[in-house]
Amino acid sequence: MRVKAADAGFTLSSEDRTGSLLAALAAGRPGGRILELGTGAGEGAAWLLSGMDRASRLTTVELDATVQAIAREQLGADPRVTFVAGDGGAWLEDFDGPPFDLVFADTWPGKFTHLDRALELVAPGGTYLIDDLLPQPGRPRDHEAAVARLLAELDAREDFRCVRLAWASGLLMAVRAA
């Protein structure tokens, strides 16, 4: 999958430490409903699927249909996954289904934009996970300021318990109060 992603010019796949955490979190949600915002080439989705049981379901949303096609090719035969090609922000605004047990926001919508809506979709006792919080080459100029605003907003919430993980690309895990 990484080779095909690199061939397509996509270099933002979830790294292995983040992936192993995704698999562990998915394994802890038997029959879980999981949302990934930012499929990319499918690295995160593959990790999530590796931890999910047969009754769990994954919905993964990606703006770039060309990049998501790599994930569809590799993972599309798995009946537990539903791919959505489209703007994550619009999808969040339009979604009217039940909440998710795990939300992994790996793109701007659901993290730097549409945060409140993404958090509304986390079930009581559910987990919200974000990555890419540490400074890294290639990030947009306003990335650090956006991270600072995001962390302040999450820290101010009383309905989520947050823990920052200063490893991998910089993670934050928040659990919604039951």
Per residue in 12-26, pLDDT (tens digit) is: 556 678 999 999 999
112 has a pLDDT exceeding 50: yes
pLDDT score of 17: 83
Q: Is 117 helix (H, G, I), strand (E, B) or coil?
A: helix
**What does the radius of gyration of the chain's CA atoms come to, in whole angstroms?**
15
Give the mean model confidence (pLDDT) for residues 104-126: 97
Pair of tokens at residue 105: 């926001």
Output the CA–CA distances (angstroms, integers) from residue 69 to 45, 65, 107, 123, in the order listed.
13, 6, 17, 29
